[in-house]
Structure 1
Amino acid sequence: MSSAETALRIALVGNPNCGKTALFNLLTGSRQKVANYAGVTVERKQGRYVAPSGRVVDLLDLPGAYSLDAASPDEAITRDVCLGIAAGETRPDLLVCVADATNLRLHLRFVLEVRRLGVPVVLALNMMDAAARRGIRIDIAALERELGIPVIETVAVRRAGARALIERIDGPLPALPDAGPADLDLHAEVRRLLAATVRMPTRTAATDDAIDRVALHPVWGLVLLGVLMFLIFQSVFSWAEPLMDAIENGIKALGAFSVAALPEGPLRSLLADGVFAGIGSVLVFLPQILILFLFILALEESGYLPRAAFLLDRLMFKAGLSGRSFIPLLSSFACAIPGIMATRSIQDPRDRLATIMVAPLMTCSARLPVYTLLIAAFIPQRTVAGVFNLQGIVLFALYVAGIVSALAVAFVIKRLRRDRSEHALLLELPSYRWPHPRDLAIGLWERAWIFLKRVGGIILALTVLLWFLSSFPAPPDGATGPAIDYSFAGRIGRALEVVFAPVGFNWQICIALIPGLAAREVAVSALGTVYALSGSDDTIAAELGPLIAGQWPLATALSLLVWYIFAPQCLSTLAVIRRETNSWRNVWIAAGYLFALAYAASFVTYQVTRMLTS
């Protein structure tokens, strides 16, 4: 038998914010893969490790769920996998139910539901160190006796925090637990278990209370959130600059070395003007993307994000959304695709659709290369008030513009659907905790790998295709202009320039917008390729910013910045809207209103800036 045939299949289940994914990362390390469940867009995370006995364990991290009485696609997947009825999935041999030891009043109800599934169950009491610090005392032996299942203490943020769990998994499977009480008795059973096995402190943790007095304050809480976001975008420019310079110099040196020995011809042009000018102009933005993700992951791990959702609930409701939309929209800062998929946690279908429709307005990481290229080229690098980076302030303003636009569109959607009903927001506020470096490192590695795969896959392919379109057919005999003027791409760009001239776009920008439909960051590599073929400089990857600064008026640069706040430049996002809403109508509505907003906003920006600078 192969190891895959004899592997023990285990699923981690639990409420959101119980530390389940941190435990999964601890057990599997980098030996994990992410995909989607068959037929649905819910993310599937699976890993493998070898137990001390040599036994192979396949570990599945199921979506967080508050109940097996599913109210969202995520909870439905968890229920179906546990019951063995999910398409393409075999039923787990063992369920490890992860519960936050600091919040057993909420988590034990789900444990009681899992106990009735007819599958061997182990309860992993996670965050036991935090529970001890808060003065919570849990009688493990008594809880194990009352539940009739093994109860194991874990601390997922410590290297040896899962040793006892690994040893228990490596042993014989536990006996099937009793079904327990009927649904009408679950809350009463939780109260009985808490009374019999848990001693709570006389008051909640002083640290959490002290922080929440500021973090959840209706005024100071919003100020704190604004300051945090402002500092994040300042850091994106300030911290990344040395790393970006190093990457830029490395690409420049590698490009010069690679083409030095090659004679003039198509191969040299492909490497210099296609690969290095295109791919190199995108790779330099990797440090900024990783810094942005570092902060997002840290805020998520710390327990702050649910509080931000709670804080913004009233504001978002007035705009036609709910506080539960906050986390999907925040995820859209990374990429609108997982943000749209995260709306599955929104139970009200009208709120979910509104969130999906405005998610593309969040400034995703793919826009970052375009923003930073234009900001670095046209915004002076100087200090404001002796502290703040002017370029960081402009980047922050672009992100704020995306957020304000999303709220405005959601407000219009709310008025059009004539919905005045209120939808209560119920959120668990987990204890504050320090993000663990291992989880941050894994998250950053996953994001870097995704970015590099895009660079080596779709961006490289589109860059080579654009190089071909920009190089052929060859110019006729006696031609005096650059070869690109006579190419397929040059002709397309000149034709589109008629449409986009009122917003200030030249033919080079028009060419870059086309491959940008596949991925926004391709627009930067496309500009690098187009300008490389318009001149004779083999180091255009490092010189693109100064080059466009010398050739474009400020009005064109600002118009393009505004265009990218709104434009529906990513076909993958539109495809996900189609899958999540099962409607082509919603796709056309989203694409139509985003294009209209982009063109109108760019037109106003270009015309006003041109009048002010003339």
Structure 2
Amino acid sequence: MAKDIKIALVGNPNTGKSTLFNLLTGLNQKIGNFPGITVDKKLGYCKLAENKQAEIIDLPGTYSLYPKSKDESIVFQVLADKNNPSHPDIVVLVADATNLRRNLLLYSQVADLGLPVVLVLNMTDMAKKEGIDIDINKLSERLGIQVVAISARSNSGIDQLKMAIGNTTPIATQTTGADMHMLAPEAIDLVKSHLKIDNDYLALQLLHQHQPLNVFSIEDHSVFEKIKSSHNFESSKLQAAETIARYRYLGTVLSGVIEDTGAVKKFAFSDKLDAVLTNKFWGFLIFIAILFFIFNSIFSWSSYPMELIEYSFVWLTEFGHQHLPEGVLTNLLLDGVVAGLGGVVIFIPQIAILFAFISILEDTGYMARVTFMMDKIMRKFGLSGKSVVPMIGSLACAVPSIMSARNIESWKDRIITIMVVPLVSCSARLPVYTLLISLVVPEKMLWGFINLQGLTLMGMYLISIFAAVIVAFIMKLIIKAKERSYFIMELPVYRMPRWTNVLYTMYEKSKTFVFEAGKVIIAISIILWVLASYGPSDRFEKIDKKYAAIEAQKDSVQISTLERDKSAEKLENSYAGILGHVIEPAIKPLGFDWKIGIALITSFAAREAFVGTMATIYSVDGGDEEVATIRNKMRGATNPDTGLPVFTFATAFSLMLFYAFAMQCMSTVAVVYRETKSWKWPVIQLVYMTAMAYVASLIAYQLLK
């Protein structure tokens, strides 16, 4: 998409930057990676006045240009390097109006890089409620830039912001802040002379952190290091001196700009809520109750839309078989692609509900409280409080959660977090759990309000979290490291969730689930359909001859039954059937047959593939019209040796435990390798998780059968 101007959104965490990004770009955005690294890059497009197009990039939240994590280092790399493809024409710095002094520290650093800046004061409505009055005009005059007051949650001030962006000149207009030259005058002058630049602060920052920038040669890096050593450049001391100088300068800027009327005690409501929600006893009890409500809702609220989707795909398959010409392509399309896709789309309601709740918990500020509460407990098991964020994030997906572990400074804590995060049940396991639970757990309400299926689902998630904590404790004893970690976190004030943001998250995550999982599952479904429909020619010839002889002596009703038996026998002798039978002896003690064995293999590409595999296998297998849905087909499946159902209570729980613990996600293996820069850790992870899954399934099946 052509753009007239490139804008970077910059700000502290919890300032509403991402909410503003969604407001400006709507659905016109995409997520990719910054070149050469795995940090997410959110890009969007927005129309300004006079039909100008703006490309907006949402940079990771940071408190200063001195990064504490890999994500935060991106901000400096993008802003300092003019050759970076994401380098902006204008920086829109989003500040929290309720804590302006702290937020302006980052502004003063960005402004000193010499980029045109528009300052956005978000949450001005909350500031007024807290008795904080800000003189916008005086602040704008003192800083020499446009200052815009907005409230992203109530969608106010957005048009004024667009006008301000459109009116911003490409030349920086801000007044000079604290004198950075005085911190290391000789070293700064040498860098400016070497690079032929005139910006004091950029020269100072390059002495602090030139390594991440790819624009410099080995010779340049060597020059920087020589300058530092010859002028006793102590980075940590100079950073502290800079911060003091900046806060002194900001004190003069904000004098007479902010008036605290004292009308309302600041954050009084948040403090009262925190007294209950972070309480050592009530806090945990409330958290468990919230978790139960979420999982109960996932089952209760999704049942009708799931049934509608399920029967829509059944109708589509039947309609296709009736109106499309018979042949290989029709069977591939309907029994392969459509069946596999149906196994994905059916779970959109549950995925949407899960992400809606996660978005609400994050938007309200409650998720930060959960992290705070869990810190002391986590430390006893070898994890820091910062490990809670990746673990909670893993309820959605392990891949971004492993990447988010970069903000854990301790190497040991980071490695342990990466190793246990995939044990926490992600959204990819949700379709497996819900399908199996719906087969063996009755749809009953306990005491009139507790959904038994929802309670079982919550149990599976809690089992995975307990397993992760126990494995972390064992790894704490095995992995040795000297450094100690620390946990610092700002608790945001409680706010009402922005419902358009929640709806957008539901849409975006559901779309990602369908397209990302769908691509894998459709590919697997096509391959699987071919493997399940064809086999060694001599085997298929024998089956055809056998049933041709039998059919000649039977009536039409018996022939219909024979067709089903013939399909089942062909499936068993297909390439997929042969592969399933090869691994069956190893998985039989777990209660799994060869069909489930095929699903276990395909699931190593993506766990969601289990449902698509079952749909394809049972579509190829054939069956009565009355058991047309995938759940009914699986419910009606019987063991040919015993005549008993394949999916018994014992088998279903054995299978759920296997999926709870097994590392069946190639994307996770890849990202662990990328984050640790070694095959050692992903191999260890793959081995220990597969062993855990096998042992847990074995014990469960042998005890429950």
For the superposition of Structure 1 and Structure 2, which TM-score range results when normalised by the shorter chain?
Answer: over 0.9
Structure 1 CA distance for aligned equivalents of residues 144 and 675 of structure 2 = 40
Structure 2 CA distance for aligned equivalents of residues 39 and 296 of structure 1 = 30
> C-alpha deviations, 1:121-154, integer Å up to 9, x for none?
1110011111111111112123223333321111
Which of 130, 155, 166 is the equivalent residue of 2:162? 166
| Paired AA for residue 189 in structure 1 | Y
Task: List aligned pairs for 1:143-542, cutoff 5 A.
Answer: 143-173=139-169, 175-181=172-178, 182=180, 183=242, 184-200=244-260, 202=262, 203-262=265-324, 264-418=326-480, 422-454=484-516, 456-473=518-535, 475-477=540-542, 478-479=545-546, 481=566, 482-537=569-624, 539-541=628-630
Residue ranges of structure 1 left out of the alignment (5+ in a row)? none
Residue 17 (str. 1) matches residue 14 (str. 2): yes
> C-alpha deviations, 1:192-240, integer Å up to 9, x for none?
4444422235422322122111112121111111111111001000110
Sort the Cα spacing of 1:520 and 1:42 in 2 relative to 1 into closer, same or farther, 3 A: same
- Give the CA deviation at 1:268: 3.7
- Give the CA deviation at 1:351: 1.6
Structure 2 CA distance for aligned equivalents of residues 246 and 424 of structure 1 = 50
| Paired AA for residue 543 in structure 1 | N
Which of 96, 110, 116 is the equivalent residue of 1:114? 110
The 3-state SS of whatever aligns with 1:137 is strand
Which of 48, 60, 65 is the equivalent residue of 1:51? 48
Structure 2 CA distance for aligned equivalents of residues 13 and 269 of structure 1 = 53
- Give the CA deviation at 1:85: 5.7
Sort the Cα spacing of 1:91 and 1:264 in 2 relative to 1 into closer, same or farther, 3 A: closer
> C-alpha deviations, 1:360-403, integer Å up to 9, x for none?
11111111111001100001111112210000000000000111
Structure 2 CA distance for aligned equivalents of residues 232 and 210 of structure 1 = 24
Q: Is the 8 A contact 1:252 1:542 kept in 2?
A: no
Match of 2:692 in 1: 597
Match of 1:552 in 2: 647
Structure 2 CA distance for aligned equivalents of residues 479 and 433 of structure 1 = 71
Task: List aligned pairs for 1:19-34, cutoff 5 A.
Answer: 19-34=16-31
> C-alpha deviations, 1:260-304, integer Å up to 9, x for none?
124554234323422333221332111011100000011111111
| Paired AA for residue 635 in structure 2 | P
Q: Is the 8 A contact 2:11 2:106 kept in 1?
A: yes
Q: Is the 8 A contact 2:25 2:46 kept in 1?
A: yes
Match of 1:104 in 2: 100
- Give the CA deviation at 1:352: 1.7
Structure 2 CA distance for aligned equivalents of residues 201 and 372 of structure 1 = 54
Which of 37, 40, 50 is the equivalent residue of 2:37? 40
- Give the CA deviation at 1:496: 0.5
Q: Is the 8 A contact 2:384 2:413 kept in 1?
A: yes
Structure 2 CA distance for aligned equivalents of residues 314 and 485 of structure 1 = 54
Q: Which moved more, 1:136-145 or 1:514-523?
A: 136-145
Sort the Cα spacing of 1:544 and 1:37 in 2 relative to 1 into closer, same or farther, 3 A: farther
Q: Is the 8 A contact 2:153 2:498 kept in 1?
A: yes
> C-alpha deviations, 1:339-374, integer Å up to 9, x for none?
111212222222222111111111111111110011
Which of 657, 664, 676 is the equivalent residue of 1:569? 664
The 3-state SS of whatever aligns with 1:10 is strand
Match of 1:543 in 2: 632
Q: Which moved more, 1:275-284 or 1:29-38?
A: 275-284
Match of 1:141 in 2: 137
Residue 83 (str. 1) matches residue 84 (str. 2): no
Q: Which moved more, 1:445-454 or 1:295-304?
A: 445-454
| Paired AA for residue 163 in structure 1 | D
Q: TM-score, normalised by structure 1?
A: 0.95
Q: Which moved more, 1:383-392 or 1:192-201?
A: 192-201
| Paired AA for residue 508 in structure 1 | K
Structure 2 CA distance for aligned equivalents of residues 562 and 420 of structure 1 = 36
Match of 2:89 in 1: 93
Number of equivalent positions: 606
- Give the CA deviation at 1:551: 2.7
The 3-state SS of whatever aligns with 2:152 is coil
Structure 1 vs Structure 2 CA RMSD: 1.9
> C-alpha deviations, 1:148-198, integer Å up to 9, x for none?
332111111233431111111111426342442241412333444444422
Q: Is the 8 A contact 2:371 2:389 kept in 1?
A: yes
Q: Is the 8 A contact 1:249 1:542 kept in 2?
A: no
- Give the CA deviation at 1:542: 5.3
Residue 73 (str. 1) matches residue 70 (str. 2): yes
Structure 1 CA distance for aligned equivalents of residues 289 and 633 of structure 2 = 33
> C-alpha deviations, 1:406-430, integer Å up to 9, x for none?
1111111111124586532111111
Q: Is the 8 A contact 2:5 2:89 kept in 1?
A: yes
Structure 2 CA distance for aligned equivalents of residues 588 and 176 of structure 1 = 54
Q: Is the 8 A contact 1:84 1:92 kept in 2?
A: no
Match of 1:62 in 2: 59
Structure 2 CA distance for aligned equivalents of residues 275 and 589 of structure 1 = 35
Q: Is the 8 A contact 2:19 2:153 kept in 1?
A: yes
The 3-state SS of whatever aligns with 1:593 is helix
Q: Is the 8 A contact 1:117 1:179 kept in 2?
A: no
Structure 1 or 2, whichever has the larger Rg, is 2
- Give the CA deviation at 1:100: 0.9
Match of 2:226 in 1: none
Structure 1 CA distance for aligned equivalents of residues 260 and 471 of structure 2 = 46
Sort the Cα spacing of 1:90 and 1:452 in 2 relative to 1 into closer, same or farther, 3 A: closer
| Paired AA for residue 73 in structure 1 | K
Structure 2 CA distance for aligned equivalents of residues 420 and 222 of structure 1 = 32
Percent same amino acid among aligned pairs? 40
Residue ranges of structure 2 left out of the alignment (5+ in a row)? 181-241, 548-565, 639-644
| Paired AA for residue 698 in structure 2 | F
The 3-state SS of whatever aligns with 1:46 is strand
Higher RCO (Cα < 8 Å, 6 or more apart): 1
> C-alpha deviations, 1:310-336, integer Å up to 9, x for none?
111101111111221222211111111
Q: Is the 8 A contact 1:531 1:540 kept in 2?
A: no
Sort the Cα spacing of 1:64 and 1:570 in 2 relative to 1 into closer, same or farther, 3 A: same
